[in-house]
């Protein structure tokens, strides 16, 4: 099997003059991208950063980040990208935990690097910071390598180490081999039906598995990766129109923001024929709106993780809302009884349990980086215990209903937020919704809906809407809190813990009530 470096070189050889990368007015063909990547690989070697070393990066999605990624794949350096919003304390943790020998940063992450005591003793490379005394990224370009077209990596070498975002504690390092990354990219091409010359919007961050997967998959089909350093819906719509984007692979939040823009109706989005989403569940209301707005040929719900890229695929998300489909082409999936760590204790169809994925998949990682405690919790008898709750229906399709940690226990009943959120999302006045359990003296937890509205709906109207639905009465929200924004992580996941922490004292009675004007 090819490693990622040799696979990239093969893509260059197939069509060297095809446009590979776009970042504003900056454009690179595959030949030019290879030249830049091999030059940077040479520069890294001259700085003492070589095969097997970790290189931490704090970069937005710009051309330099893409070039650096391919330079590391060619040289065997383990690229270790982290959120460019990280503070100095977090940078210290990432550098120490990964044992990185160097760090690459830009203006937006410069203050964190300046405040990092660990970074001060390492090789530092600055991107587009003229006043910096650290090595300038541009000086690595134009260098000549004697082995410019030969990758130094092997399929079993580590290609990249991602850090899980996590909801508690420090992120966990997820080292992924070249073979795993390459296989996941090819599977992504097949499961999303990418064609040669596909054009994708590169806005999912390159420190996240979705962003990395798109970069790899687009290269595999000789396509064009259009950088958007930071998501802005108006700019994204302009890029879709002007660059003739053919496929989108985003988290639900970004899709929501796209179609909410007032200029959406005036933009030409006709070239977008494939929609894919991952990273979080999509409500039925948003699914239907997107199907109407884009009328795509393919609408894929991709369920996976950093640890095991693909769990399941549903290639017609609108036909069966909420379904995550069946196991991906490289995977086996089970649902086991809640509380069990035995992969053989499978839950009956229709019964909720914890979703687990086989570690025999070529897409799977082999364990967390220097975190035996995390391995002990999540890895059992050759299976990865995801922490997600779900069930198989009578057709064998998987439904993901929530996280073990998100379970609301109210009056002794177990309630998962996703069903309630999907129902409320269909109300015409609801723009976004998140459901959490807030502490309640009588019930233990009270089912509480945080709602961003785009119409005149009030708590009584939403309560009536739920009462008139098929929603079980014990799942019905007992409180509504109207907010201006739903807090989310940088990759669009609802931050339920933030909602619980911020509003833990908002509900004080046992009657339906609301707290208007809350700003998150």
Would you give per-residue pLDDT tens digits along the chain (520 residues)?
789 999 999 999 999 999 999 999 999 999 999 999 999 999 999 999 999 999 999 999 999 999 999 999 999 999 999 999 999 999 999 999 999 999 999 999 999 999 999 999 999 999 999 889 999 999 999 877 654 446 789 999 999 999 986 544 578 999 999 999 999 999 999 999 999 999 999 999 999 999 999 999 999 999 999 999 999 999 999 999 999 999 999 999 899 999 999 999 999 999 999 999 998 888 899 999 999 999 999 999 999 999 999 999 999 999 999 999 999 999 999 999 999 999 999 999 999 999 999 999 999 999 999 999 999 999 999 999 999 999 999 999 999 988 888 888 887 777 888 889 989 999 999 999 999 999 887 778 899 999 999 999 999 999 999 999 989 888 999 999 999 999 988 777 788 888 988 886 655 433 443 333 322 2
**302 beta partners:** 313
- Map residue 403 onto helix, strand or coil: strand
pTM assigned to the model: 0.84
The structural domains of the chain, with segments of one domain joined by +, span 407-518
Is the CB of residue 438 less than 8 Å from the CB of residue 507? Answer: yes
Q: At what angle do helices 252-260 and 233-243 cross, to 10 degrees?
A: 90
Handedness of CA 229, 233, 235, 241 (dihedral sign): positive
- Measured in degrees and rounded to the nearest 5, phi and psi for residue 383 equal -130, 145
DSSP 120-141: GGSEEEEES-TT--SEEGGGGT
Element (H, E) at 247: strand 247-250
Structure tokens at 151: 């990758």
Cβ-proximal residues to 149 (8 Å cutoff; 6+ apart), any chain: 9, 34, 38
In the CATH scheme, what architecture does the domain 407-518 have?
2-Layer Sandwich (3.30)
Scan for tokens 């700019």, then name that residue.
Answer: 235
Q: Give the Cβ contact number of residue 472 at 10 Å.
A: 11
Distance CA(171)–CA(56), nearest Å, equals 14
Q: Give the Cβ contact number of residue 265 at 10 Å.
A: 9
């Amino acid at each position: 099997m090819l490693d990622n470096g040799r696979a990239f070189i093969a893509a260059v050889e197939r069509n060297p003059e095809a446009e590979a990368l776009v970042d504003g007015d900056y454009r690179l063909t595959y030949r030019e991208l290879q030249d830049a990547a091999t030059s940077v690989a040479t520069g890294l070697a001259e700085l003492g950063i070589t095969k097997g070393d970790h290189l931490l990066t704090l970069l937005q999605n710009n051309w330099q980040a893409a070039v650096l990624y391919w330079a590391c794949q060619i040289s065997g350096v383990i690229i270790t990208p982290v959120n460019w919003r990280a503070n100095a304390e977090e940078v210290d943790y990432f550098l120490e935990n990964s044992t990185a020998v160097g760090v690459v940063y830009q203006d937006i992450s410069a203050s964190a690097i300046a405040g990092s005591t660990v970074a001060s003793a390492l090789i530092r490379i600055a991107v587009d910071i003229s006043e910096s005394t650290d090595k300038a990224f541009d000086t690595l370009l134009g260098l000549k390598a004697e082995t410019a077209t030969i990758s130094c990596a092997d399929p079993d070498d580590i290609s990249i180490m991602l850090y899980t975002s996590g909801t508690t504690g420090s992120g966990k390092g997820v080292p992924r081999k070249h073979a795993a990354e390459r296989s996941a990219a090819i599977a992504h091409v097949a499961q999303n039906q990418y064609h040669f010359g596909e054009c994708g919007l590169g806005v999912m961050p390159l420190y996240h598995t979705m962003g990395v997967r798109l970069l790899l998959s687009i290269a595999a089909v000789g396509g064009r990766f259009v950088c958007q350093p930071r998501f802005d819906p108006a700019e994204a719509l302009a890029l879709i129109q002007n660059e003739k984007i053919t496929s989108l692979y985003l988290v639900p939040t970004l899709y929501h923001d796209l179609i909410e823009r007032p200029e959406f109706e005036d933009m030409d989005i006709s070239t977008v024929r494939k929609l894919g989403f991952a990273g979080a569940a999509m409500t039925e209301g948003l699914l239907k709106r997107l199907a109407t707005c884009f009328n795509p040929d393919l609408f894929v719900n991709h369920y996976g993780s950093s640890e095991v890229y693909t769990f399941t695929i549903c290639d017609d998300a609108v036909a069966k809302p909420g379904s995550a489909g069946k196991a991906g082409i490289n995977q086996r999936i089970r649902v086991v009884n809640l509380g069990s760590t035995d992969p053989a204790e499978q839950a009956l169809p229709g019964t909720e349990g914890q979703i687990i994925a086989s570690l025999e998949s070529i897409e799977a990682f082999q364990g967390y980086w220097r975190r035996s405690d995390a391995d002990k919790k999540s890895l059992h008898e050759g299976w990865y215990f995801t922490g997600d709750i779900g069930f198989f229906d009578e057709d064998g399709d998987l439904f993901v209903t929530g996280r073990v940690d998100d379970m609301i226990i109210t009056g002794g009943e177990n309630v998962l937020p996703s069903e309630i959120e999907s129902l409320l999302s269909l109300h015409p006045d609801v723009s976004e919704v998140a459901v959490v359990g807030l502490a309640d003296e009588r019930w233990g937890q009270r089912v509480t809906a945080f709602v961003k509205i785009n119409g005149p709906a009030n708590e009584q109207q939403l309560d009536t809407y739920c009462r008139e639905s098929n929603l079980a009465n014990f799942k019905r929200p007992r409180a509504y809190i109207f907010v201006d924004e739903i807090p989310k992580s940088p990759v669009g996941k609802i931050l339920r813990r933030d909602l619980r922490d911020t509003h833990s004292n908002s509900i004080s009675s046992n009657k339906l009530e609301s707290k208007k004007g809350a700003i998150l």
